Amino acid sequence: MSESEYNIEYLIEEGFVRKECKKCGSWFWTRDRDRATCGDAPCEAYSFIGAPLFTERSADEIREAFLSFFESKNHTRMRRYPVVARWRDDIYLNIASIANFQPLITSGRVPPPANPLVVSQPCIRLEDLASIGRSGRHLTMFEMMGHHAFNKRGGEEIYWKNETVKYCDEFLKRLGVAEEWITYKEAPWMGGGNAGPCLEVIAGGLELATLVFMDLEAVHHPPRNGLDDMTSIGGQWYRKMEMYIVDTGYGLERFVWASKGTPTVYDAIFPEVIDELLSSIGMEHPMERYRNQLIEIARLSGVMNRREIAKKLRLQLPENFFTAVMEPLDTIYAIADHTRCLAFMLADGIVPSNAKEGYLARLVIRRTFRMLKSLQCDIPVEELVAMHIKLLSGAFPELSESMDRINEILALERERYRETLSRGERIVKQLIKGGKEISVDTLINLYDTHGIPPEFTGEVASRFHVPVEIPEDFYSRVARMHGEERREVAEVDQVVANLRERTRSLPKTQRLYYDEPRSYVFNATVLDYFDKFVVLDRTLFYPEGGGQPADTGVILAGSDELKVVDVKSVDGVIVHEIEPEARLETELKRGMDVRGCINYQRRMAHTRHHSATHIVIWAARKLLGEHVWQAGAQKGELRSRLDITHFKRITDDEKRAIEMLANEMVMRNEDISASFLDRNEAERRYGFRIYQGGVPPGKELRIVRIGADEDVQACAGTHCSKTGEVGPIKILRTERIQDGIERIWYSAGEAAVTEMQARDELIKQAASVLRIPESRLPETVRRFFEEWKQLRKENERLRAEIAGLQLDILKNKAQKIDDIEVIAEVIHDAMKEKELLRIASELSSAGFVTLLLSRTGDRVAVVASVPDEVSQKNVNINAATIVKQVCHVVGGGGGGTAKIAQGGGERIEKMEEGIAAGLQLVNEWVKVFKDRVDKRD
């Protein structure tokens, strides 16, 4: 990035000089001509610790100072966005104030809600999870105060670099930061496919803000010729964007920290929570006794790591200071941080889960449980979250509205974690009992598969005096293992890409399905056709979107009938896909008038189901809580599904209640209205709730409202005009598609009636089989099942008895081969293999070598057994070998142990032959045995 990017008028006018840092070599701007380093850690220690940069201010004071300062500079103050980035599909959590405006506004497709604007945006970043607490400066949740200006090339510029730096300098000076302290460090910025020059604002060794001038976007190919104006940063090529955007991030917590000069940012932001944790474990804050040392450690921690600090300060501190004081303190900091993060995550509606953003919430929750346990601290996590919510209530009163749900979720999560650990304890015990060593692989497997943390495994193992070694890089090993998994590259939809190319020059299609929701025929003019696709100037055909399938139907061109099989909207141009057999070039002409006709029944079914979806999610949210969000939906003709976030299984009672409430909404016959509204106006009026089915592009949103704004959603689908038209709504079933997400299946209108009739029919048929009234079905079925179980048992017992009776008969049929008694018989009462086994077993206990064959169904069962005494005599008679031989004869196979074996075959007619073969085998063995004995004698 060229030097000229940073030649900012204001800096030059103000007498800043550009210097190269003696330590890191980067360029920076300063008023202090003697300054040698950029001022940033690790080039410089945290000098502000113990020596605040300006007078002490609380977070609320800093926030208000910032917002009102920029308001005075004509910025519009914005409400915060949620910490869950529901409007984006590339990230789960809101990581920066600019994230609020990506990608639609930053790409220029949608105008900003205000310009310029200012916001203090709570953000969550979990990348540095491991160093939270220890580093003294990392937070999982922080407020990024940002002022943004969105400039469009060729348009009127709001402001750019000069004003941005000027505002920053003025704001810092107004807070009381000494001029000569402030440095602006040049640090090219890139992220999320964008890049641009950037100035890091540093004072007292602390980076307070980042001023990004975002004007580049990543391209996938290197420059093709000299005309391409491209820049390479870190091996990636970028080109100028259509927009150039002021993207600033001022770390609210860092300002508070700088104003207090406490050893850590945690002590500056939530000392109340830290004190609570300290007192609960009977520890005093080391500030009381080790003030100077803590300040020294904190100052150095920007420059070196813990081990180096420990080495350097060895002489000034008690021997076990780091393990006895610093480590528990680190943990307390981390707990205080995590619970603050949870306050926002849970209040903003994240439901803990094993997937997506829910997993991130559970990760933070479980880390917190683990840390509380390691301190043997018994404060419930809810209490800590509640403390934060109270501390934050000035700026974020909305957090407390969710307190009940947060309590319930956290209590549930604690119970789940307890169960995971007790399950884990059993598994580890089992492993140890099995005499297995606990290897690193085992540790990883236990964690990966069962969620058992290695520390816990070690703890359980140590109780059995089994050594467990946890490698230091344990978690990175786990991460590495997953990193090796192959990643599938998202395939760009080539069909749509091709269509986009072709339709670019065409005007947007007039959408008759919005204007005339009740029509099913229309006249239109052919604008273009190619491959299997037709574009008209106007259409009734609804294109696939918002989980609603496309309409089908026909286009009548003269006497020809073209079947429409699919419809897509490509940037507002609606493309009809015709069945492959049609020959468009012979049947169509550009400019030709055609008549279209949609499958009205199908459309109405979709329309009813679509309105029903809005009603069902409304009902679910009303009954289950405000955390209910749509996590996916698909409408069909016969049934539809809706996925919602919820932290428990939906019970049958809840399912019925939702169904009832939904039908009440139908019976109230409320208006369903759809109208286009300016996007920013819609967001302002209805909030993010409108984005249940994702965030559609465009300056205007189609807003679908039920009743007096009972449910409001941005939705492109077709809808009934009254809830009454939806007809009955029948919830068919619910299933849990992942932890925290419930899928609700339902039918509406005619389909619901059909479903209910089908269910009626099932019940009727079942009842008529049993010849009982339907009302007695459950009771009777239960009784029948019980009786069936009884009879089965009785049957087994009787068969065993019959088998017992066979014993004496069979014993009488024994023949002697030498001095061995052998029974080899075909049993004609069709016996099951299990009973044959029982008889054979009995007979061999009584001293008989036994071979039994029987017919079971259309095949032969073969069982052989050999008594212990016979094997002991060294006569090599093997039951498995006999069975194999006999089964070979009857056309099958078998096996087992030397003492008892079973098998079977298909050739029923060969049963006698099989007996003979078995006997022959025994004869041979006895002969060999006798020969050997004779020889020895």
Partnered with residue 566 across adjacent β-strands are 577
From residue 827 to residue 866, what is the string marking binding to RNA with x (rule CB under 7 A)?
A: -------x--xx--x-----------------x-------
Please say which residue, 134 or 367, places its beta carbon nearer to RNA: 367
Please say which residue, 701 or 901, places its beta carbon nearer to RNA: 901
Please say which residue, 830 or 933, places its beta carbon nearer to RNA: 830
Q: What kind and span of H or E run contains 92?
A: none
The angle subtended at Cα 544 by Cα 541 and Cα 548, nearest 5°, is 105
Question: Smallest distance from the beta carbon of 834 to RNA, in angstroms?
Answer: 5
The single residue among 366, 635, 679, 705 that binds RNA, judged by CB under 7 A, is: 366
Residue 27 CB-density burial (10 A; 0-12 exposed, 13-18 middle, 19+ buried): middle
| Choices 252-260, 359-367, 598-606, 808-816; region in contact with RNA by CB under 7 A | 359-367
CB 246 within 8 A of CB 283: no
How many Å separate Cα 428 from the centre of its chain? Answer: 28
Please say which residue, 121 or 902, places its beta carbon nearer to RNA: 902
- Is residue 359 close enough to count as binding RNA by CB under 7 A? yes
| Choices 105-113, 220-228, 531-539, 734-742; region in contact with RNA by CB under 7 A | 734-742
- Is residue 427 close enough to count as binding RNA by CB under 7 A? yes
| Choices 32-40, 301-309, 475-483, 512-520; region in contact with RNA by CB under 7 A | 475-483
CB 866 within 8 A of CB 899: yes
| Choices 28-36, 413-421, 672-680, 803-811; region in contact with RNA by CB under 7 A | 413-421
Question: Smallest distance from the beta carbon of 825 to RNA, in angstroms?
Answer: 17
Question: Smallest distance from the beta carbon of 684 to RNA, in angstroms?
Answer: 31
Among residues 388, 440, 442, 434, which one has the least CA distance to residue 410? 388
Binding to RNA, residues 438-457 (CB under 7 A): 445, 447-451
Among residues 173, 155, 157, which one has the least CA distance to residue 165? 173
Please say which residue, 120 or 806, places its beta carbon nearer to RNA: 806
| Choices 43-51, 302-310, 415-423, 591-599; region in contact with RNA by CB under 7 A | 415-423
CB 181 within 8 A of CB 202: no
Please say which residue, 676 or 784, places its beta carbon nearer to RNA: 784
Please say which residue, 419 or 924, places its beta carbon nearer to RNA: 419
50/42 Cα distance (integer angstroms): 18
Question: Smallest distance from the beta carbon of 402 to RNA, in angstroms?
Answer: 22
Query: Quick one: DSSP state of residue 275?
Result: H
Query: Quick one: DSSP state of residue 236?
Result: E
Question: Smallest distance from the beta carbon of 254 to RNA, in angstroms?
Answer: 26
Binding to RNA, residues 736-795 (CB under 7 A): 736, 738-739, 785, 789, 793
- Is residue 649 close enough to count as binding RNA by CB under 7 A? yes
The single residue among 131, 420, 680, 780 that binds RNA, judged by CB under 7 A, is: 420
- Is residue 112 close enough to count as binding RNA by CB under 7 A? no
DSSP β-ladder status, 729-738 and 573-578: unpaired
Please say which residue, 687 or 893, places its beta carbon nearer to RNA: 893
11/5 Cα distance (integer angstroms): 12
213/198 Cα distance (integer angstroms): 6
- Is residue 345 close enough to count as binding RNA by CB under 7 A? no
CB 719 within 8 A of CB 683: no
Please say which residue, 315 or 492, places its beta carbon nearer to RNA: 492
The tokens of 867 are what? 């008594």
Query: Quick one: DSSP state of residue 598?
Result: E
- Is residue 735 close enough to count as binding RNA by CB under 7 A? yes
- Is residue 354 close enough to count as binding RNA by CB under 7 A? yes
- Is residue 905 close enough to count as binding RNA by CB under 7 A? yes
Give SS3 for 125.
coil
Please say which residue, 218 or 363, places its beta carbon nearer to RNA: 363
Can you spell out the DSSP letters for 501-570?
Answer: HHHTTSPPPEEHHHH-TT--EEEEEEEEEETTEEEESEE-PPPSBTTBPPP-EEEEETTEEEEEEEEEEE
Question: Smallest distance from the beta carbon of 474 to RNA, in angstroms?
Answer: 10
CB 563 within 8 A of CB 554: yes
CB 399 within 8 A of CB 387: no
If you count DSSP H runs as helices and E runs as strands, how many of each does the chain have, helices first? Answer: 28, 33
Q: What kind and span of H or E run contains 230?
A: strand 230-233
Question: Smallest distance from the beta carbon of 361 to RNA, in angstroms?
Answer: 10
384/509 Cα distance (integer angstroms): 56
Amino acid (one-letter) located at 863: V
- Is residue 901 close enough to count as binding RNA by CB under 7 A? yes
| Choices 237-245, 561-569, 690-698, 891-899; region in contact with RNA by CB under 7 A | 891-899
The tokens of 720 are what? 């009934």
Question: Smallest distance from the beta carbon of 885 to RNA, in angstroms?
Answer: 13
CB 264 within 8 A of CB 372: no
Question: Smallest distance from the beta carbon of 741 to RNA, in angstroms?
Answer: 8
917/911 Cα distance (integer angstroms): 10
How many Å separate Cα 422 from the centre of its chain? Answer: 25
Can you spell out the DSSP letters for 161-173?
Answer: HHHHHHHHHHHHH
Please say which residue, 837 or 889, places its beta carbon nearer to RNA: 837
Please say which residue, 363 or 592, places its beta carbon nearer to RNA: 363
Give SS3 for 767.
helix
The tokens of 507 are what? 């005007």
Binding to RNA, residues 276-335 (CB under 7 A): none
Which residues are within 8 A (CB) of 35 and not within 5 positions of it... i.e. 6 or more apart? 19, 183
The tokens of 660 are what? 């009832």
Amino acid (one-letter) located at 72: S
- Is residue 436 close enough to count as binding RNA by CB under 7 A? no
SS (H, E, C) 43-73: CCCCCCCCCCCCCCCCHHHHHHHHHHHHHCC
The tokens of 351 are what? 């439901």
- Is residue 124 close enough to count as binding RNA by CB under 7 A? no
Please say which residue, 251 or 896, places its beta carbon nearer to RNA: 896
| Choices 259-267, 557-565, 823-831, 889-897; region in contact with RNA by CB under 7 A | 889-897
Question: Smallest distance from the beta carbon of 150 to RNA, in angstroms?
Answer: 29
Please say which residue, 479 or 928, places its beta carbon nearer to RNA: 479
Number of residues that bind RNA (CB under 7 A): 53
The single residue among 101, 290, 321, 417 that binds RNA, judged by CB under 7 A, is: 417
32/169 Cα distance (integer angstroms): 15
The single residue among 37, 713, 854, 902 that binds RNA, judged by CB under 7 A, is: 902
The residue to which tokens 């789960």 are assigned: 92
Please say which residue, 77 or 426, places its beta carbon nearer to RNA: 426
Please say which residue, 438 or 562, places its beta carbon nearer to RNA: 438
Partnered with residue 203 across adjacent β-strands are 206
The single residue among 51, 355, 762, 805 that binds RNA, judged by CB under 7 A, is: 355
- Is residue 543 close enough to count as binding RNA by CB under 7 A? no
- Is residue 878 close enough to count as binding RNA by CB under 7 A? no
Please say which residue, 721 or 841, places its beta carbon nearer to RNA: 841
- Is residue 903 close enough to count as binding RNA by CB under 7 A? yes
The single residue among 34, 485, 585, 653 that binds RNA, judged by CB under 7 A, is: 485
CB 251 within 8 A of CB 204: no
Please say which residue, 666 or 837, places its beta carbon nearer to RNA: 837
Where does this chain bind RNA (CB under 7 A)? 354-356, 359, 362-363, 366, 416-417, 419-420, 423, 426-427, 430, 445, 447-451, 475, 478-479, 482, 485, 649, 735-736, 738-739, 785, 789, 793, 834, 837-838, 841, 859, 887, 892-897, 900-906
